A and B are shown apart, each in its own frame.
Chain A
Amino acid sequence: MLPRPVRVRKRTRDLPGTVTLELEPTDGMPLPSYAPGQFTMLYVFGVGEIPVSISGDASDGSRLVQTIRSVGAVSEAVTKLLPNDVLGLRGPFGTAWPTSELAGQDVVVVAGGLGLAPLRPSIYHLLANREQFGKVVLLYGTRSPDEILYRRQLETWRKRLDIQLEVTVDHAGADWRGHVGVVTKLIPRLSIDVQHATALVCGPEIMMRFGAAALCDLGLPEQSVWLSLERNMKCAVGLCGHCQFAGLFACKDGAVVRYDQVRRLLAMTEI
């Protein structure tokens, strides 16, 4: 439970108010290994601690890559850290995307806004082991063309011939040549083997709700759709109750959960 000091090796500004930090150990010991979908707690000394998704490649043990958006005092402090600054690290915590169960399946990754960050480790896994899967589809939606996260990387992935990648924005000017409309609108157009497909969905909770429903309308069983819950994690080990989600603790029973476990809860208020 004690934060371990780690150092910022590199800071990349992705979007206004959103940065990706590469962290390295200060003590020469290896960084903790993690599975795609897990998160850590990052502690800015004297300010506070927040949960942050791991957004890097899980097979690269030399650095821990995390993407943060400034939405409050602590996250703002994290986004302002510079190379060589030291911060506290706990974790990784939580459940992971079911990457070991995806072999032989069509895989649909549906990301909204910053939700692409916790999905990126699973995308690295899918691309690195591409021959193990059927169709691989990445659907990404965000607010406008200038708010596309990891834009260069998406452009690189799009050049691959072995994945389908669609980017859509909610609003755009006449100079945007891509899709316009919410990301869920792309789902009915998918051509996949729904009985042998798994979907990984992450984004704002409303988007996940509509996205999961659209995937099930397409024919995917609820058990084949996985979501990542975002809650106010504090202790990250299921003791404090801050992230309680009905009978679940998002920090230890999630953040990654199966849709059938939470479908009814997603529509309830004050959970």
Chain B
Amino acid sequence: MQGLERILGEHRLFAGLGQQFLELAAGCAKNVRFDPDEYLFHADDPADWIYLVRHGRVALEVTTPHQGAIRFETVGEGEVVGLTWLLPPYRWGYDARATELTRALALDARCLRDKCEADHDLGYEILKRFLPVLVQRLRATRLQMLDVYSPGR
């Protein structure tokens, strides 16, 4: 358990989280690895796990009938895969696939939600860490939608 606390505390998302909260969060964590092209989850699956990437790269994809899988973002070391675990109906909106050997810390989403519900101080700390990720992705999505590299821009 101490190993997981340390790994969790070293991840960029949880850097600076107090020891008490690290212990609580680490109680929901386990180490996982994915081979290249292995899926972490598929769209519409229950959002049961949150993945804190320690090494490797994960592609987030949407599959379309005519173009197949379209990659709209990749997530790498120090980043997080999975944000919709925070909000009902707790389902993924895209596929997540490792593009190379990927090691991550997987947090049981239900376990973490229950602990956040029971301890709102922990919940607030967790929210403060996930909210900037959401904002950053919203900004990035806005830029992607502007298609800034098209001729004439």
Which A residues have a C-beta under 8 Å from some C-beta of B? 17, 69-71, 112-114, 141-143, 147, 168, 170-174, 176-182, 184-185, 188-189, 203-207, 210
Within 8 A of A (CB), among B118-141: 136, 139-140
| Chain A CB within 8 A of B15 CB | no
Complex-state Cα separation, A19 to B144, whole angstroms: 25
Residues of B within 8 A of A181 (CB): 72-74, 140, 144
Please give the distance in Å from A212's CB to the nearest CB on chain B. Answer: 13
- Find out whether the CB atom of A180 lies under 8 angstroms from the CB atom of B59: yes
Which B residues have a C-beta under 8 Å from some C-beta of A? 57, 59-61, 67-74, 76, 78, 97, 99-100, 136, 139-140, 143-144, 146-153
Complex-state Cα separation, A252 to B139, whole angstroms: 33
- Find out whether the CB atom of A173 lies under 8 angstroms from the CB atom of B151: no
8 contacting pairs across A/B (C-beta < 8 A): A114-B149, A141-B149, A143-B150, A173-B71, A180-B60, A180-B72, A182-B140, A204-B148
- Find out whether the CB atom of B147 lies under 8 angstroms from the CB atom of A180: no
Complex-state Cα separation, A171 to B143, whole angstroms: 12
Residues of B within 8 A of A203 (CB): 148-149
Complex-state Cα separation, A179 to B143, whole angstroms: 16
- Find out whether the CB atom of A172 lies under 8 angstroms from the CB atom of B71: yes
Mostly helix, strand, loop or mixed at chain A's interface?
A: mixed
Of B67, B100, B146, the contact of A206 (CB 8 Å cutoff): B146
Of B70, B78, B139, B149, the contact of A173 (CB 8 Å cutoff): B70
How many contacts between A and B, using CB within 8 angstroms? 81
Mostly helix, strand, loop or mixed at chain B's interface?
A: mixed
- Find out whether the CB atom of B73 lies under 8 angstroms from the CB atom of A177: no
Which chain A residue has the least Cβ–Cβ distance from B67? A173
Residues of A within 8 A of B68 (CB): 173-174
Residues of A within 8 A of B72 (CB): 171, 180-181
- Find out whether the CB atom of B149 lies under 8 angstroms from the CB atom of A210: no
Residues of B within 8 A of A176 (CB): 71
- Find out whether the CB atom of B70 lies under 8 angstroms from the CB atom of A184: no
Which chain A residue has the least Cβ–Cβ distance from B151? A71
- Find out whether the CB atom of B151 lies under 8 angstroms from the CB atom of A171: no
- Find out whether the CB atom of A171 lies under 8 angstroms from the CB atom of B100: no
- Find out whether the CB atom of B136 lies under 8 angstroms from the CB atom of A171: no
- Find out whether the CB atom of A185 lies under 8 angstroms from the CB atom of B136: yes
Which chain A residue has the least Cβ–Cβ distance from B145? A170
A174 and B146 contact, Cβ closer than 8 Å, known pairs A185-B140, A210-B139: no
Residues of B within 8 A of A170 (CB): 144, 147, 149
Of A147, A182, A204, the contact of B153 (CB 8 Å cutoff): A204
Residues of B within 8 A of A173 (CB): 67-71
Residues of B within 8 A of A168 (CB): 74
- Find out whether the CB atom of A113 lies under 8 angstroms from the CB atom of B149: yes
Complex-state Cα separation, A142 to B143, whole angstroms: 12
Residues of B within 8 A of A143 (CB): 147, 149-150
- Find out whether the CB atom of A188 lies under 8 angstroms from the CB atom of B143: no
Given contacts A71-B151, A143-B147, 14 further A-B contacts (CB under 8 A): A17-B151, A69-B151, A173-B68, A173-B70, A174-B69, A178-B74, A180-B59, A180-B60, A180-B71, A180-B74, A181-B73, A184-B143, A204-B148, A206-B148
- Find out whether the CB atom of A113 lies under 8 angstroms from the CB atom of B148: yes
Complex-state Cα separation, A221 to B147, whole angstroms: 28
Of A69, A177, A206, the contact of B143 (CB 8 Å cutoff): A206
Please give the distance in Å from A173's CB to the nearest CB on chain B. Answer: 7
- Find out whether the CB atom of B152 lies under 8 angstroms from the CB atom of A71: yes
Complex-state Cα separation, A142 to B149, whole angstroms: 7
Residues of A within 8 A of B69 (CB): 173-174
